[in-house]
Amino acid sequence: MATLNNAPRDSFSSRIGVIAAAAGSAVGLGNIWRFPYVAGENGGGAFLLIYLGFILAIGFPVMLAELTIGRRAQLNALGSFKKLAPGKPWFLVGLMGIVAAFLILAFYSTIAGWTLEYLIQAIGNQFAGKSPNQLKESFEIFQSGTFRPLLWQMIFMFLTGYIVYSGVKNGIEKYTKILMPVLFLLILVMTVRSVTLEGASGGLNFLFKPDFSKITWPVVLDALGQAAFSLSIGMGALITYGSYIQKNNPLPNIALQVTAADTLIAILAGVMIFPAVFAFNIDPAEGFGLVFIVLPNIFEQMAGGYFFSILFFVLLAIAALTSTVSVLEVVVAYFSEELKMTRNKATIIASVAISFVGVFATLSFGPLSDDIIFGRTIFGWFDYLSANVFLPVGALAIVVFVGWFMGKRNVKNEITNEGSLKVLFFPVFIWIVRLIAPVAIAVVFLYGLGVLKL
Ligand code: TRP
């Protein structure tokens, strides 16, 4: 379908560009900020194992399912469902994705703003000579402020809007292609520094020696939510990106490579963070602030720490940016294609509206930190609801749709590029999306929330 002025829809220009953009979406604060904090709160090793199981059995198939829907329909998340299931309520799944995008971006931009603050601190050499306790204290002072965290959040939202406005090929694809590999190398360097710290082995044990006594249903749900969040699945971001993928690109390979890259970076982030956590006597269950307290300590102990800290926070901010872009793109594609706005107007309206909601997330660490609703701050709720409720429910709906309602022929044709691609695991895939993934997600979700009890 053509856009407003009948120009063809924008698309990714090459397969490598697709992978960079999709990996750019997947790899972000979810890997480097969220994975360590959630794994740390949930006891480490056993959590990691369950997380990996979900990546394989649910994450990868859902990613492929989303790309399949998007490329089949060539439309935004909501329009895709309307087109593939006309007159049916499936478009509500797309609508839920739009709501999830608001929630995710509202709190994600808070943390993304923190990365900018830390970049400036790194440039000002402000970690130098500080003890672990002092570094923790200065984090807490910054975090509980009002003006600076909000300013950074708004700057970050502006950058996101700017790239989304620039479009798919010239915005998203251009930036991610070069920067992701550099980030990867830098994490490797820091990982080496972290594991060679004195007392590092406690962290490796924490991360790799599973202690199954820590596992409860809510922990299992956290692992599922983290897997979905990290892979960017369950809300239509990959339906939207899938719609920009050209018909001759192999979807299974793309999904596999993106899943592998994302998982590798999450594990590496764990190996970068936990040895240092133990070496510096930081509580692994520290929570949202974990990596912002741990990382400066590593730089402090590193030859060239000044240089590496600047480089690291630049890259972390960019990794966050390529993720926020994919979330905002979901809303902008919907506004522009379904509500017939220009891309410009859609970007401005979406960014401003999300920034407004985001204020409440950011102030959850300062002026609103006493506003605890059922045990969580507003930020805590945005984070929990999006990862543990919206994404699992969205993922469930997506696999059921692809497994039972899209038509096996359609699915097979799209995944095999109309028969020209051999996809040996297709029969396995079909049964995962029909049965295994839906049952697994439903069970984990209902038990994890405590709706069902053993
Ligand atoms: N996966 C990204 C990260 O790990 C965050 C993200 C981008 C996301 N797009 C998404 C999460 C869509 C859920 C859905 O940082």
pLDDT tens, position by position, 415-448: 999 999 999 999 999 999 999 999 999 999 999 9
Residue 230 near ligand 1, beta carbon < 6 Å: yes
Residue 104 near ligand 1, beta carbon < 6 Å: yes
CA-to-CA separations, 308 to 145, 148, 178, 305, in angstroms, rounded: 27, 24, 18, 5
Closest ligand 1 atom number to CA of residue 31: 4
CA-to-CA separations, 106 to 50, 90, 102, 335, 360, in angstroms, rounded: 28, 25, 6, 18, 8
pLDDT score at 453:
83
pTM: 0.95
Question: Ligand 1 atom 14: the closest Cα is on which residue?
Answer: 232
Closest ligand 1 atom number to CA of residue 327: 9
Question: Ligand 1 atom 8: the closest Cα is on which residue?
Answer: 232
Listed residue (263, 282, 173) closest to 223, CA to CA: 263
Residue 42 near ligand 1, beta carbon < 6 Å: no
pLDDT in tens, 95-109: 999 999 999 999 999
pLDDT score at 1:
38
Distance 96 CA to ligand 1 centre (A): 15
pLDDT above 90 (res 166): no
Question: Ligand 1 atom 10: the closest Cα is on which residue?
Answer: 232
pLDDT above 90 (res 7): no
pLDDT in tens, 321-341: 999 999 999 999 999 999 999
pLDDT score at 8:
67
Distance 237 CA to ligand 1 centre (A): 8
Q: Delineate the domains of the chain, giving CATH numbers in brackets.
A: 15-449 (1.20.1740)
pLDDT score at 178:
75
Helix axes 91-123, 305-338, angle to 10 degrees: 150
Helix axes 91-123, 391-400, angle to 10 degrees: 140
The per-residue pLDDT of the chain, averaged, comes to 94
pLDDT above 60 (res 80): yes
pLDDT above 80 (res 89): yes
Residue 324 near ligand 1, beta carbon < 6 Å: no
- The answer to whether 255 and 191 are in contact (CB under 8 A) is no
Residue 109 near ligand 1, beta carbon < 6 Å: no
- The answer to whether 37 and 290 are in contact (CB under 8 A) is yes
pLDDT in tens, 268-283: 999 999 999 999 999 9
| Contacts of 59 by beta carbon, 8 Å cutoff, 6+ apart | 227, 228, 230, 231, 233, 259
CA distance 197 to 284: 16
pLDDT score at 184:
87
